Structure 1
Amino acid sequence: MEFLNILVNVFSEYGYIAVFLVLIFCGFGLPVPEDISLVSGGVIAGLGKADPHFMFLVGMAGVLIGDSSVFLIGRIYGVRVLQIPMISRIVTPERFAKVQDKISRYGNWVTFMARFMPGLRMPIYLTAGTSDRISFYRFVILDFLAAIISVPVWVYLGYFGAYNFDILMDWVHNGQLLVFGFLGTVFLLFGIVYWIRKKRS
């Protein structure tokens, strides 16, 4: 609730550019919840200080540019990225090795699911950038597909709950369940299709 109040005040003052910049810095591990940042952007739209649909586009742009920047830093520096002090505090050699192993085994799925794992998102994107397993083009597609699920949920929850923060926070909690429920359904359908095709073959 405290983060929400602070961000709503900041975003009300500085508008779209503040939302955009905060989301980019979230990609670099800024200790501000990305979902609350998106919700706060939706709130100022609900209060009539921004357009909700344009706020959604700003949210998508901030999220994708922030994530892509982290990936490209990994791609440019490779494993040397761990020598950068700001990054080494977040991505330890042990964490890097674990994420590297997961990406080598489940590259696409790990990259896609990272959007829904706040504490691991930045290390996964950075490590994906150091790996030859995932091209930048593929990364952007996977990140877009994940973001198009989560970003509108948070922005429009904020928009419709702008006048009652207590109810809004309940919606945020339910929104997380909604996103994971949707993902679970998608994975279940893919599993069923895969099983049917395998059985027929």
Structure 2
Amino acid sequence: MSLTEWLLALVPSYGPPLLGGVIFLSCFALPLPASMMLMAAGGFSAVGDLSLPLVLAAAVLGLIAGDQCVYFAGRYGGARLMQHLARRAAPIRRARDMLVERGGIFLFLSRWLFSPIGPYVNFAAGASGLSWPRFVLWGTPGELVWVSIYLGLGYGFAGQLEQASDAALSAVLALGAGALALWLGRVLIRAHRRRREAGSDALQQAAPPR
């Protein structure tokens, strides 16, 4: 029996505490089936074997606690380690570069759209000096999106984990496309405003003095 199968078999017996612990540990880049377990817990909640509010609370608390621990590990002890690892570990290097280029929006997307690199982004955010309020402001909504997708689909596809997994992938891609469209729209609007301001300044400079 694989680790995933073993953990999934324990969900109906140990429910929220097990789920919260696995999600917490997954925030440290450990190869644990957090998404699958969240969908399984949603399915067991749908048939009444688990309490949906308790499952939701455990998932959110485990995710927030894990992300915060990794952020503060980077904040208070990771600057030198990050400089060392950034030369050797591609995920941390990419996370650092994307945080510098895109900032908050990349942090938000790393919670659910690019979740495999989420732990590296958390560490890079702390080590790079990203402020804690900004980390929370952008990270928490992304965490809620991740929990909502997998728990909601597990609840809706109770007993059909494979179908729920396929639906989760489709949902993530659809939401990702929507987020990308909104971001591109914002970029275009800002570029248009800059062009208008530049054109207005040029006209004012070209106008003859009175």
Alignment of 1:148-159 (within 5 A): 148-159=144-155
Q: Secondary structure at the match of 2:159?
A: coil
Deviation at 1:92, TM superposition (A): 6.6
Alignment of 1:4-153 (within 5 A): 5-81=5-81, 93-95=88-90, 96-115=92-111, 116-132=113-129, 134-153=130-149
Alignment-mate amino acid for residue 77 of structure 1: G
Q: CA separation of 1:191/1:107 partners in 2, compared to 1, >3 Å: closer, same or farther? A: closer
TM-superposition CA deviations, 1:141-168 (whole Å, max 9, x none): 2111212222111101001111223432
Name the TM-score, length of structure 2 as normaliser.
Answer: 0.78
Q: Using the alignment, how far apart are the partners of 1:98 and 1:177 within structure 2?
A: 21
Deviation at 1:75, TM superposition (A): 0.7
Alignment-mate amino acid for residue 43 of structure 2: V
**Overall identity of the aligned pairs, in %:** 21
**Cα-Cα RMSD:** 2.8
Q: Using the alignment, how far apart are the partners of 2:96 and 2:13 within structure 1?
A: 41
Q: CA separation of 1:166/1:27 partners in 2, compared to 1, >3 Å: closer, same or farther? A: closer
Q: Secondary structure at the match of 2:120?
A: helix
Name the TM-score, length of structure 1 as normaliser.
Answer: 0.81
- Cα contact 2:39–2:161 (8 A) shared by 1: no
Unaligned runs of 5+ in 1: none
Q: Using the alignment, how far apart are the partners of 2:6 and 2:154 within structure 1?
A: 14
Query: After TM superposition, where is structure 1 displaced by more than 6 Å over at least 4 residues in a row?
Result: none
Q: CA separation of 1:149/1:185 partners in 2, compared to 1, >3 Å: closer, same or farther? A: farther
Quick check: which has more Rg, 1 or 2? 2
- Cα contact 2:70–2:123 (8 A) shared by 1: yes
Q: Using the alignment, how far apart are the partners of 1:46 and 1:81 within structure 2?
A: 44
Deviation at 1:124, TM superposition (A): 1.6
